[in-house]
Amino acid sequence: MKMQNLVQKIIDGNQLAGARLIRLLEEEDSAGIAMLKHLYPHTGQAFVIGVTGPPGSGKSTLVNCLIGEFRQRDMLVAVVAIDPSSPISGGALLGDRIRMRRHAKDDGVFIRSMATRGHLGGLSKTTRETVLVFDAMGYDVVIIETVGVGQDEVEIAQFAHTTAVVSLPGMGDDIQAMKAGLLEIGDLFIVNKADHPGADDVVEQLQAMLDLAKKSESDWRPPVIKTVAVNNGGIVELADTLWGHRRYLLDSGYFSEHNYKWEYHFFRQLVMEMVTDRIFDNAQVSPSFAKLLDDLKARKIDPISAAEKMLHTFLTQ
Amino acid sequence: MKMQNLVQKIIDGNQLAGARLIRLLEEEDSAGIAMLKHLYPHTGQAFVIGVTGPPGSGKSTLVNCLIGEFRQRDMLVAVVAIDPSSPISGGALLGDRIRMRRHAKDDGVFIRSMATRGHLGGLSKTTRETVLVFDAMGYDVVIIETVGVGQDEVEIAQFAHTTAVVSLPGMGDDIQAMKAGLLEIGDLFIVNKADHPGADDVVEQLQAMLDLAKKSESDWRPPVIKTVAVNNGGIVELADTLWGHRRYLLDSGYFSEHNYKWEYHFFRQLVMEMVTDRIFDNAQVSPSFAKLLDDLKARKIDPISAAEKMLHTFLTQ
């Protein structure tokens, strides 16, 4: 398939074409990056929702319910599911992912699982690129789902218009501690499995924590919503609230501000990678670079001095 | 305190001085980086152990036991505990961390909690720098402990000589799925809470998975060790096995190979940051850069083309 054809098919919403480009981007293929240029004018519309929370909180079931609800409202929905899986072989198949397949035959739904690979910053870059592809394909809603309790959530929050943090009744200290961190990235909080004992306690705790915290940039008070995802309880309210936050972002100008922030970040990251690649490519053929690496290996020079030397030697400006 | 004094105090093992430098490094203070240069000749000896696993697996209790065991063997022990905490306010105090304080009055133990901040790749860089400081201070063993089920583990594995993966009996699908990813980064596996029902099943599952997997680079077969950390069960064997892996790494040359890999990575990251900072600093005063950002904001140019333009305009070589 020619590149121009692939671009057109993606704009037309062809899922095979989309999957193919995402694979190219995951492999950091330069043709993939070039295609993003052509897709860019068709992006900027999708509403990006991050869903995060600890393992076992029922995130995937919730996402599944949200897909159904948004489909009922006639929207096209895409999901990026980030697996806590292999740095090497990549991509364990979660049980939850299989459950999501009930939407597999619906053309209005596109689900993509991504492995969290070893490349630093790689996850966030590929996630951002994947969202751009979904956006260009015409998906109204893009949901990014992560399992994790650390760095990942922060990264999600950076690439979602709205971040929903899932918790559940009766978890221990770990969850309590986690909440302190997640409190600041949540635009709304979901207490799932709300039919279990202790649900109201969690709601109260969250409300109390939200009373103490204040989000510097906004006057949005994050709502706390109870759901019972296994029987679709609370999903209509959840979808309404998400949509309400989108409205708030659009009215306040934060929506396009978010988009610009991501684009600037992507731009800076590209500059960083391109210039570093170029410097190291140029250096590769130089005997003084080989000497520098030998010295580093023999511990005759420290990494900081080596970096300074590199800049001095290979960057004229 | 003058910089030269601080450097000397760190080499002498002064904990206040060490903590001060680590704080400078977390704040990306250039004086901190410069000090690392002087410390570098005093590094390269510490044995770095990564301990990772899901929340609730008892990692902190295990680390606590290991501290005690290594202290009994007359070694100096430092710990980097990575909190799944705030991207903004930073640093929730985990209950487990408090328990670790039984070693707080021992000068041979240095425990440092780090928040996982929002800066991409920042966690791994500061972790690596902190390990260098501990190494220069003369700690024989540095333990990096993370809570998390995603990207973090991969990053740990990159900065530890030996990675120990903790699991426990009777957890659900999430943990099963996680194991597939952690299998490849584990140099040894710990089944903690081994007095709980199902411990032998987990050991068997792990052994079966290890039979299927093979580590490409090495002939080390990861052992599976049962522990009951709450009453110190299995800790002597665990410490012996860790030390055995260190021996294996030293004999095979992998030990210094690991060190060089980290130094090269650190060097490359420094080049990347320094050159990007310089390019953007130079650009800052240029009207054509201001125009480029305006165009990016107005969506008149896509991020990829903008990055290419940036390189073309601001990099002469």
Dihedral over Cα of B107, B140, B56, B154: its sign: positive
Taking CB atoms and an 8 Å cutoff, what residues of chain B touch A267? 296, 303, 306-307, 310
Looking at residue A91, what is its pLDDT? 35
A302 touching chain B per CB within 8 A: yes
Both ends of chain B: CA-CA distance in Å? 42
Contact state of B116 with A307 under an 8 Å Cβ cutoff:
no
**B 87-116 residues inside an 8 A Cβ radius of A:** 87-89, 92-96, 115-116
Looking at residue B104, what is its pLDDT? 64
CB contacts < 8 Å between A and B, how many?
A: 252
Contact state of A177 with B84 under an 8 Å Cβ cutoff:
yes
- Work out the minimum CA distance from B302 to partner chain A, whole angstroms: 6
Separation between Cα atoms, residue A53 and residue A30, nearest integer Å: 34
ipTM of the complex: 0.83
Nearest to A149 among B55, B299, B307 (CB): B55
DSSP letter (8 states) at residue A216: S
Measured in residues, chain B has a length of 317
Q: Which residue of B has its CA nearest to A118?
A: B154
DSSP letter (8 states) at residue A214: -
Measured in residues, chain A has a length of 317
**Which neighbouring-strand residues pair with A78?**
A110, A142
- Work out the minimum CA distance from A90 to partner chain B, whole angstroms: 7
**Which of A184, A302, A313 would you mutate first to test chain B, the one with the most B CBs within 10 A?**
A302
Contact state of B303 with A152 under an 8 Å Cβ cutoff:
no
Amino acid at B307: A
Backbone angles phi, psi at A217, to 5 degrees: -80, -15
Q: What is the mean pLDDT of each run of 10 residues along chain A (317 residues)?
A: 86 95 90 94 96 82 95 96 48 42 75 64 79 97 79 74 89 54 83 92 86 71 95 96 97 94 92 89 87 93 94 70
**B 30-89 residues inside an 8 A Cβ radius of A:** 33-34, 36-37, 40-41, 44, 54-56, 82-89
Print burial letters for B39-77: b (CB count within 10 Å at least 16), e (below 16).
bbeebeebbbbbbbbbbbbbbbbbbbbbbbbbbeeebbb
Q: Which residue of A has its CA nearest to B272?
A: A276
Contact state of A274 with B181 under an 8 Å Cβ cutoff:
no
**A 261-290 residues inside an 8 A Cβ radius of B:** 263-264, 266-268, 270-276, 278-280, 282
Output the CA–CA distances (angstroms, integers) from residue A172 to A168, A202, A214, B41, B95, in the order listed.
10, 12, 25, 44, 10
**Residues 6+ positions from B28 with CB-CB distance below 8 Å:** none
Backbone angles phi, psi at B78, to 5 degrees: -120, 150
How many beta carbons lie within 10 A of that of residue B90, not counting itself? 17
The residue to which tokens 């068997």 are assigned? B204
**A 198-257 residues inside an 8 A Cβ radius of B:** none
B295 touching chain A per CB within 8 A: no
Looking at residue B209, what is its pLDDT? 82
Question: DSSP H helical segments within chain B, as ranges?
Answer: 3-11, 15-26, 30-39, 59-72, 95-99, 122-137, 151-159, 173-182, 199-212, 235-252, 254-284, 287-297, 303-314
What confidence tens digit (pLDDT) does each residue in A291-309 have? Answer: 999 999 999 999 999 999 9
- Work out the minimum CA distance from B249 to partner chain A, whole angstroms: 17
DSSP letter (8 states) at residue B233: B
What are the tokens at B165? 């993966």
Q: Are B143 and B51 in contact (CB under 8 A)?
A: yes
User: Which CATH number describes the domain made up of A43-252?
Assistant: 3.40.50.300
**B 132-171 residues inside an 8 A Cβ radius of A:** 146-152, 154-155, 157-158
Looking at residue A208, what is its pLDDT? 85
Q: Are B184 and B213 in contact (CB under 8 A)?
A: yes
Output the CA–CA distances (angstroms, integers) from residue B210 to A118, A305, B156, in the order listed.
20, 42, 20
pLDDT in 10s for each residue of chain B, 317 residues: 677 899 999 999 999 999 999 999 988 888 999 999 999 999 999 999 999 887 778 888 999 999 999 999 999 999 998 755 433 323 333 334 444 556 767 788 998 887 655 444 566 788 899 999 999 999 999 999 886 555 666 677 788 999 999 988 876 544 555 555 677 788 999 999 999 988 998 898 888 888 877 655 568 999 999 999 999 999 999 999 999 999 999 999 999 999 999 999 999 989 998 988 888 888 888 888 999 999 999 999 999 999 999 888 876 54
How many beta carbons lie within 10 A of that of residue B239, not counting itself? 20
Amino acid at A133: V
B315 touching chain A per CB within 8 A: yes
Q: Are B305 and A36 in contact (CB under 8 A)?
A: no
Separation between Cα atoms, residue B60 and residue B51, nearest integer Å: 9
Q: Phi-psi region for residue B162, left (φ > 0), alpha (ψ -120 to 50) or beta?
A: beta
The residue to which tokens 């979660």 are assigned? A94
Nearest to B92 among A41, A181, A314 (CB): A181
Separation between Cα atoms, residue A193 and residue A196, nearest integer Å: 6
Contact state of A85 with B44 under an 8 Å Cβ cutoff:
no
Contact state of A150 with B148 under an 8 Å Cβ cutoff:
yes
* Entry pTM: 0.77
Q: Please state the domain extents for chain B.
A: 1-39, 43-252, 267-314
